[in-house]
Structure 1
């Protein structure tokens, strides 16, 4: 019985290796990721407490901005994202997932299509739709459960749009609220695109280009904080 348990555990750990290793995009051994971890976690905390602090660092210290979606591979390396001041959902979720591996947590990146009912009028004109295709989120393995994490909308932006910022407790899925503080529709998940152990660059970027033919890779400045919410 004990030998069977050891064998099952060994095989389980083998299957998780791909969710722990550094990769081109999950390059958590880089100096910028290590510095990010030092800045937003404390050596005296438990691994889970460090993960929670890391989540807040990604969520609030890199401002959410959905404009200027890059089609360059290097823009999606966690080490590059960690140096950015603002970014959108995919890079922010990639950074959290990669840094989580640096803390010893298996992680992966997931994608879904969501309808954003609180997008700005200008953003909807820019995208041509209220659907946010390939919305990125992270999944972290904690106590044998894969937990979704969405360190995307920073606290200041949530205040602007009247939505509670998402917290992460490491136990429950951390996904967008369905309604804002006034009971108005906020986010609807309408399609799942899958989860991946490495960022599938060609799959995602080509998908974004097909969905938003005039937006991806185009320099188009903007800041949701200065824009009028869509009615």
Structure 2
């Protein structure tokens, strides 16, 4: 594990040393008897208590910022889970992949010019000698409202998006893996996003102001 010590240290986005993160890491898994049980408690906290919001601005990208706001998109929620895990002594890292969402909301299908989402983020926790994938993005309420299968985490099996929804319709398809990182590879992520969706998307993402972009997308579709 010597080479993996970086996955226990605080980083720029994965700010596991922030007091708010450390306090939450002590409180959330209180009573858990081992690291696996702590990991489960942290996962379900991030999944359900931090609301999934794709309109969330890119910044703050830090775990403490997402914890303070109480909502975030996939990368922000993965960053928070990784930070909480490190704060309780569980090595954690970030994974990124391009995915196809067959159930993507029509508004976002216009924004993304299709159904492919580049640089989707998830976490990996080192438990019992192996890395276990954990995807806390979609909260329970969102899944129930949309007929999605919830991602469950037991600390043993990989917890990733399901290929089909509750009715058996195609849902998430993993297309390309971008690797594992101790912190958010911000330049690579922004480069991929800009190449896929254009500079206008990046501007809206950074500010969290989507009105103009959505109107532009709607006008383009009508034209």
Partner of 2:145: 160
Partner of 1:6: none
Match 1:133 to one of 115, 118, 123:
118
Cα separation, 1, equivalents of 2:173 and 2:157: 18
1:195/1:152 CA distance change after superposition, 3 Å:
same
**What SS class does the counterpart of residue 202 from structure 2 fall into?**
coil
Partner of 1:226: none
Partner of 2:20: 32
Using the size of structure 1 for normalisation, the TM-score is 0.84
1:82-161 paired onto structure 2 within 5 Å: 82-161=67-146
Contact persistence 1:149–1:175 (CA under 8 A): yes
Contact persistence 2:93–2:182 (CA under 8 A): yes
- Matching of residue 192 in structure 1 with residue 177 in structure 2: yes
**What SS class does the counterpart of residue 82 from structure 1 fall into?**
helix
- Give structure 2 stretches of 5+ with no counterpart: 212-223
Cα separation, 2, equivalents of 1:62 and 1:192: 25
Match 2:194 to one of 186, 190, 209:
209
Cα separation, 1, equivalents of 2:160 and 2:194: 25
CA apart distance, 1:69: 4.1
Partner of 1:53: 41
User: What root-mean-square deviation, in Å, do the aligned CA atoms of Structure 1 and Structure 2 show?
Assistant: 1.5
Cα separation, 2, equivalents of 1:152 and 1:196: 18
- Matching of residue 174 in structure 1 with residue 159 in structure 2: yes
CA apart distance, 1:217: 3.3
- Give structure 1 stretches of 5+ with no counterpart: 1-12, 222-231
Cα separation, 1, equivalents of 2:12 and 2:61: 9
CA apart distance, 1:26: 1.7
Using the size of structure 2 for normalisation, the TM-score is 0.87
Contact persistence 1:147–1:172 (CA under 8 A): yes
